[in-house]
Structure 1
Amino acid sequence: MTAACEQHRPGPGARAAARLGGRVPMIDTTRLQLRGPRIYDFKAFSDIFCSDRAEAIGGPFARNEAWSVFSQYTAQWMLHGHGLWTVDAQTQPSAGFVLLGYEYDDPEAELAVYMTEEAESNGYAFEAAQAARAYAFDTLRWDSVVSYLDASNSRANALMLRLGAVRDMAAETTQGDGTQIWRHARGAA
């Protein structure tokens, strides 16, 4: 069953939401477009977060929990000026998501990438992460950004290496929960 909050409701509210969503910066890469999330993107988001694909991030989540995460990440645009982008590939809308944002207890903003199963192995995660990271450094003028990873997430660890991120052992010690913290610095890969 689809909850009422997940359904598009035409009218003035939908038009206002579209105007707000249109204010989220759009980034075009060679093969991707990063854009503001829309209500219909939640299906792809929940497909990721409510499946075994989310094990390394504390999932799988119940659908209502995935909705809360989706809403929180999207709202960060209004609160912080950065947040969740939907990743559209040339032939696959809602191929995944890239985040410059916060979990409630995060000490600093993170770069995270969540791709659908169908979008894997195309280099989209790398391309989307590079674009979001460039936005963090060039537009937001951040000096660094981190990615929080579970040690068992071998694909994400390989992505961090490919991106030129390095483990921040001092931050990991401070965090103290076994989370790997990969730091991205301006000028990396």
Structure 2
Amino acid sequence: MIPIPTITTERLVLRAPCAHDHAPFAAFYASEAAQFVGGPMRDFEVWRYMAEVIGHWQLRGFGRWMVERKDRPGAIGLVGLHAPLDWPEPEVGWMLWDGNGRGYAAEAGRAARSHAYGKLGMRTLISSIAPGNAASIRVAEGLGATLEPDPFEHPKFGTMSVYRHPAPEALA
């Protein structure tokens, strides 16, 4: 079993998903807020999705973390690295269900990207974003990602915009 590292930032902890994260994750996916990330989903579908998130770590050696604020325990989102078979290349992605507008998505996304470029030696990352997801586009652009001319056609989610992150040397 691959250990999932814990990453801390100034205000956040990125940690392995666990069973008690199901309730806030399911509440997010039951709401309209999940419209840009495959939702809404039923409770049992969210449980399976959490298992997929954990399994990604085992299959790829990297993945997504649950995000908590340092000053208040409890998951506020899911952020990290994602590269399933139906993705064009590895991505850094974020979904926050608590704390929107406070910069948490950018802070956690930056930490995940640093981990990918530093610890994992990745050379490039994208963020795939559903059209109309203005908040996610702002995060990507705030991290220096730029819109690629060709969208990504996902077999389930349809057309996704692709934002390319700066290469590691450009961030140095």
- TM bracket, shorter-chain basis: 0.7 to 0.9
In structure 2, C-alpha distance between the alignment counterparts of 1:64 and 1:28, rounded to whole Å: 30
How big is each residue's C-alpha offset from its partner over 1:116-168, in whole Å with a ceiling of 9 and x where there is no partner?
1x321221111000000000100111111111111110000111110100112
In structure 2, C-alpha distance between the alignment counterparts of 1:87 and 1:46, rounded to whole Å: 15
TM-score, structure 2 as length reference: 0.88
**Alignment correspondent of 2:153:** 175
Structure 1 segment 10-159 matched on structure 2, within 5 A:
23-92=3-72, 93-116=74-97, 118-159=98-139
Q: Which structure has the bigger radius of gyration?
A: 1
| TM-aligned CA deviation for residue 188 of structure 1 | 4.2
In structure 2, C-alpha distance between the alignment counterparts of 1:58 and 1:98, rounded to whole Å: 15
| TM-aligned CA deviation for residue 76 of structure 1 | 1.0
**Count of aligned residue pairs for this structure pair:** 166
Runs of 4+ in 1 over 6 A off after TM superposition: none
In structure 2, C-alpha distance between the alignment counterparts of 1:132 and 1:150, rounded to whole Å: 20
| TM-aligned CA deviation for residue 58 of structure 1 | 2.5
| TM-aligned CA deviation for residue 178 of structure 1 | 2.6
In structure 2, C-alpha distance between the alignment counterparts of 1:36 and 1:128, rounded to whole Å: 14
Match for 2:32: what amino acid? D
Gap runs ≥5 in structure 2? none
SS at match of 2:165: strand
Contact 1:86–1:96 under 8 Å retained in 2: yes
SS at match of 1:98: strand
Match for 2:106: what amino acid? F
In structure 2, C-alpha distance between the alignment counterparts of 1:152 and 1:51, rounded to whole Å: 17
In structure 1, C-alpha distance between the alignment counterparts of 2:29 and 2:49, rounded to whole Å: 9
Gap runs ≥5 in structure 1? 1-19
How big is each residue's C-alpha offset from its partner over 1:49-98, in whole Å with a ceiling of 9 and x where there is no partner?
22111111231112222222211111111111111211110233212111
SS at match of 1:127: helix
Whose RCO is larger (CA < 8 A, sep 6+)?
Answer: 2
Q: Which moved more, 1:98-107 or 1:75-84?
A: 98-107
Match for 1:28: what amino acid? T
Label 1:141 to 1:159 Cα distance change in 2 as closer, same or farther (>3 A): same
Match for 1:36: what amino acid? A
SS at match of 1:141: coil
| TM-aligned CA deviation for residue 109 of structure 1 | 1.9
TM-score, structure 1 as length reference: 0.80
| TM-aligned CA deviation for residue 45 of structure 1 | 1.5
CA RMSD of aligned residues (A): 2.0
